[in-house]
Chain A
């Protein structure tokens, strides 16, 4: 995954939605496909021609099955068997997406989507231009949806998101987006020492020039 561009210049179809609630959804996709969206990346799920939902990848789960369990204890494992299990399995890889906003009739909002997508709606990656458009809209209002997800590795998701979004903004000529985003995070978390300390520690581990 690391040798792939963080965001493709064209939207890529990743998978289809399995289940959802008001704040998040789970998307199933083929395990071995290229360009899987990394943790923290911005994705979207078009519902119809006028309405699509935006989210941030906050969780990726890979499941096993009986065959994998048998294979894993086999001695002298043949490389072809390994590749077969990694790329040709019948179990989907599940991507957890936190809803962070939506677009209706061309207007962006950082509120939660009024209704989640339905099952089997397609998940797409966002292009750099789409990332810039969504993340520069308003004043980082969508951060509150990320910071609410305390059951996820919140600091890691936020740090990964800032790193990827800053790469898109840098392409667009704005080197300061991540600094402003970090300032907003500190504002939102300044009364929560434990969370802020974790987020700052994660940000310190990125290559962001803050």
Chain B
């Protein structure tokens, strides 16, 4: 935990109870002194004990009784209301379980002579650190005030992008975008929990902050141009609309239009861009045989980087009659080539048949036109622009798997080259601009079968080594390879119904048993749990709404009407 100076504690937070037990290894037990309905699971609380302040989250609420008979027999029917209220505070009670995460030495009560003496000894104030001890019995527990929230999560700014608000008191909870892009991150949630809106908001924050380029693989054409929400039918503003100079919408294939609009440029894959690994990655999608790697190796050996082009030109079953009147494979046939290099004819013809789906793709050309190449995408990203690659009508899994992997592999190679040049001579070569690759439906590329073969798992493992990280967006995190999941730094999750998905989202995190309850009890919409490396501590929040007000706040516009503006100016 990076330390930072702490100067303010918030005495205004409402006292809610006092510590009655617990342990550092698990949780602290807090006797609640306010009605339980005023506190929710996930509430951010502070505990003042001596010169120390502890910060934690409520992970459970438990009803208790000094004697079970007090709980068993409803006293309301037998006793006056006043006595019942008194009983409920003492013989019947609510205990909180608080998961302590951070602590800070903040000195004696401000305003006392002891505090002045302490401040003179600690002019820099206290320091926030991971929790290493426990508060005393009966230490006062308060709901965190705005000052406490700001101390821990930071003051909202362009770097500290407000993701949402605490659920009880509405204090803004920002996420540090600088840290967010330093490791791969994930946004999860069942269908309809608002993943896409949350992703749009974070992307808007990243684009506005402008310290990293963003490449979005927009499988469903929803991030670039304005769209219509699938559930509410409300218009949804696209990133290109609000950042016309910074965002480039790229359409896959020549002449592709996105929502009736011409994209900024098109992307066409050159045949030489494809490598055997790109084909092997499609084994399941194309139902390839185990002989495929051998045949592909023979193709590369025969034709070099033109292997795809040459193979595409071949025909299966083409024959001609030799001088003896016997039917033999024609020179343009697969069998002819297979025989000539000594590879299995049946295997080669089978592979050719399977690859026919790729051969028919109009976005794979021998020579893409200038300005429609992978290099153009890389140039845009290097120039500090942000790219939304819309797949247009090419929405099949095959298109998505192939294009994302080929493009990402080339991008990573470019970033590795730049990084190595930078490390070789920092005075001549600038560091690569950090790049965040956004993967929707990430499980299609990062599942157990594919993860090892794609570039993405490599990127997830390398983290910031080559200045490229992933932002995976998915509704089925359990389908993503465990090793990739465990590498994700910041994780943002909406409601998940499936136990295996919950388990996956929390994999590799400390305190996952306590976090599980918070995740399970999120509202199905507009509530998310933010946790992991980019956050000082896990906290459930009410997420911001993606609307005009959001854009006004992000772009620094005022909410005032013309009349209100004039009035404010004194007219």
A residues with CB within 8 A of B = 179, 182-183, 186-187, 190-191, 193, 196-197, 200-201, 203-204, 209-210
Contacts and interface: CB of A to CB of B under 8 A. Distances in A.
Interface in B45-70: 66-67, 69-70
Contact of B70 (A193, A203, A209): A193
Contact of B66 (A182, A190, A201, A204): A190
Contacts, number: 41
Contacts of A197: 69
A186 B90 contact: yes
Given A196-B91, A200-B87, A191 B80 contact: no
Interface residues of B, number: 15
A209 to B, nearest CB: 7
Given A183-B86, A210-B86, A200 B79 contact: yes
A179 B90 CA distance: 14
Nearest to B75: A200
A209 B82 contact: yes
Contacts of A186: 86-87, 90-91
B326 interface: no
B78 interface: yes
Given A182-B82, A183-B89, A190-B67, 17 more contacts: A183-B86, A186-B87, A186-B90, A186-B91, A187-B90, A190-B66, A191-B67, A193-B67, A197-B69, A200-B75, A200-B79, A203-B83, A204-B80, A209-B82, A210-B82, A210-B83, A210-B86
Nearest to A182: B86
A204 B67 contact: no
B80 A190 contact: no
A199 to B, nearest CB: 10
A179 to B, nearest CB: 6
Contacts of B91: 186, 190, 196
12 contacts: A182-B86, A183-B89, A186-B87, A186-B90, A187-B90, A191-B66, A193-B69, A193-B70, A200-B83, A201-B78, A204-B78, A204-B80
A203 B86 CA distance: 13
Contact of A179 (B66, B78, B86, B87): B86
Contacts of A191: 66-67
Contacts of B66: 190-191, 193
Nearest to A204: B79
A195 to B, nearest CB: 11
Interface in B430-462: none
Contacts of B82: 179, 182, 209-210
B467 to A, nearest CB: 62
Interface in B77-110: 78-80, 82-83, 86-87, 89-91
A182 B90 contact: no
